[in-house]
């Protein structure tokens, strides 16, 4: 049954409906059952024994980005995301993982990544780096571990992110290493799938690998990896998202940036911004680039609208994910900026994929793309 701390959230909901105005899924599907308020009421009925888990209800709760926008808006302070994740766990316990998620979840068990690739290929993104050092960024000891994450490791569209990161860290003389094939998925997809109990082996392995290197700090370019380590890994390591670490390097004078004369807008990734509380660092990095003009999106910081790629929705319902991405793209276009910058590899995949399919005139960049470009002009 749903834990008491989750069930307690039901009684706080006053059914005001303010969450409906911020939910990308509710605004797309226009049915109460798909809104946060509707899902809360379904969860309440389930807890009371008035409804049973079925494929229908599994699909309803799968249609959620877990973006957290509803929780920010709720005047009663209901932790809606906790309820939604809790219901996914209940659904998995009674009826199994959503069939559309099974291939990725099975890959986690067999390959320790979501991509159904040999994990030994996790660092193949190095193949496109000129003048690769002899150690290939794998050291026996290092102060900092750069944790790349599954998406940036295996999806060509965003492999420029780790390539950029190692270049930035090298330029700043940071004593760092990567785990390469010994990096396993952080386990975040299992949380969204409703199976967090399967994270134990992944957590134990990753902590053991990092500690074995004598590292005291970790840097993540994936906001979800960073969030997962902070919330699920019991460690005394200092954990930084790449924007936080780069901001510190710039402030300390370890990275010099030249001028870039262009106008950009910035998308706050859900797990970095609203769910992670990191809003200032990426903007400070952008503000450190001379000549760069930042135009904020209408909905920014805690009110940022999800790109459509969160909550495993891309796997569960790719069409719905694409519709949310289309709405996000329309908001971006209204700024007039021809360059979108973000700090999340999944946001880039989702938005850039939509841009390419619809042939929209928009550059979609990770913040490290701009930093490397500015470093070249310094």
* Tens digits of residue pLDDT in 287-301: 999 999 999 999 999
What's the number of domains the chain is made of? Answer: 3
CA–CA separation, 299 vs 292, rounded Å? Answer: 21
Which domain range does residue 154 map to?
Answer: 102-249
CA–CA separation, 241 vs 275, rounded Å? Answer: 13
Of 18, 22, 49, 20, which Cα lies nearest the Cα of 32? 20
**238 and 311 assigned to the same domain:** no
**13 and 59 assigned to the same domain:** yes
Q: Using an 8 Å Cβ cutoff, are 161 and 368 in contact?
A: yes
Confidence bin at 377 (pLDDT 50/70/90): confident
**261 and 364 assigned to the same domain:** yes
What is the pTM assigned to this prediction? 0.96
**282 and 326 assigned to the same domain:** yes
What is the pLDDT averaged over residues 94-117?
A: 95
What is the pLDDT averaged over residues 31-57?
A: 93
Q: Using an 8 Å Cβ cutoff, are 188 and 225 in contact?
A: yes
pLDDT in tens, 14-29: 999 999 999 999 999 9
Element (H, E) at 40: helix 36-47
**65 and 147 assigned to the same domain:** no
Boundary (domain end) residue, out of 233, 249, 265: 249
Q: Helices 280-287 and 367-376 meet at what angle, rounded to 10?
A: 20
pLDDT of residue 353: 96
CATH number (domain holding residue 41): 1.10.1060.10
**322 and 358 assigned to the same domain:** yes
pLDDT in tens, 227-257: 999 999 999 999 999 999 999 999 999 999 9
Element (H, E) at 240: strand 238-241
**190 and 111 assigned to the same domain:** yes
pLDDT in tens, 51-89: 899 999 999 999 999 999 999 999 999 999 999 999 999
Cross-strand bridge partners of residue 177: 145
Q: Using an 8 Å Cβ cutoff, are 137 and 148 in contact?
A: no
> Is the pLDDT assigned to residue 1 strictly greater than 80?
no
Residue 264: φ, ψ to 5°: -130, 160
CA–CA separation, 89 vs 84, rounded Å? Answer: 9
CA atoms within 13 A on the CB side of 51: 16
**55 and 91 assigned to the same domain:** yes
Q: What is the DSSP letter of 264?
A: E
- Biggest CA–CA distance in the chain, Å, is 65
CA–CA separation, 178 vs 180, rounded Å? Answer: 6
Boundary (domain end) residue, out of 95, 128, 162: 95
Q: Using an 8 Å Cβ cutoff, are 70 and 36 in contact?
A: yes
Q: Using an 8 Å Cβ cutoff, are 299 and 305 in contact?
A: yes
Q: Under DSSP, is residue 226 helix (H, G, I), strand (E, B) or coil?
A: helix
**233 and 124 assigned to the same domain:** yes
CA dihedral (376, 263, 128, 152) positive or negative: positive
CATH number (domain holding residue 372): 3.40.50.1860
Boundary (domain end) residue, out of 43, 69, 95: 95
């Amino acid at each position: 049954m749903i834990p008491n701390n989750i069930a307690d959230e039901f009684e706080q909901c006053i059914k005001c409906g303010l969450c409906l105005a911020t939910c990308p899924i509710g605004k797309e599907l226009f049915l109460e059952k798909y809104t946060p308020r509707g899902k809360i009421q379904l969860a309440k009925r389930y807890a009371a024994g008035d409804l049973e888990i079925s494929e229908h209800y599994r699909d309803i709760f799968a249609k959620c980005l877990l973006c957290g926008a509803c929780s920010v808006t709720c005047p009663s302070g209901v932790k809606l995301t906790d309820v939604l994740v809790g219901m996914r766990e209940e659904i998995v316990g009674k009826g199994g993982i959503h069939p559309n998620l099974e291939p990725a979840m099975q890959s986690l068990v067999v390959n320790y990544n979501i991509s159904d690739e040999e994990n030994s290929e996790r660092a193949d993104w190095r193949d496109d780096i000129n003048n690769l050092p002899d150690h290939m960024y794998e050291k026996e000891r290092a102060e900092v571990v750069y944790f790349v994450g599954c998406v940036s490791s295996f999806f060509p569209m965003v492999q420029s992110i780790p390539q950029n990161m190692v270049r930035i860290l090298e330029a700043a003389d940071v004593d760092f290493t990567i785990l390469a094939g010994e990096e396993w998925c952080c386990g975040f997809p299992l949380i969204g799938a409703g199976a967090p109990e399967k994270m134990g082996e992944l957590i134990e392995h990753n902590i053991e690998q990092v500690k074995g290197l004598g590292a005291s700090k970790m840097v993540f370019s994936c906001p979800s990896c960073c969030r997962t380590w902070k919330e699920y890994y019991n460690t005394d390591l200092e954990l930084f998202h790449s924007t936080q670490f780069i901001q510190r390097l710039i402030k300390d004078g370890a990275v010099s940036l030249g001028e870039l004369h262009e106008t950009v807008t910035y998308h706050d990734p859900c797990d970095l911004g609203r769910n992670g509380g990191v809003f200032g660092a990426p903007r400070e990095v952008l503000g450190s680039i001379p000549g760069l003009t930042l135009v904020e999106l209408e909905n920014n910081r805690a009110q940022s609208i999800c790109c459509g790629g969160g909550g495993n929705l891309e796997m569960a319902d790719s069409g719905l994910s694409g519709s949310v991405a289309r709405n996000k793209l329309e908001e971006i276009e209204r700024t007039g900026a021809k360059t979108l910058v973000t700090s999340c590899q999944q946001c880039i995949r989702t938005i850039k994929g939509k841009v390419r399919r619809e042939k929209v005139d928009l550059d979609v960049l990770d913040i490290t793309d701009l930093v490397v470009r500015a470093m070249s002009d310094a």
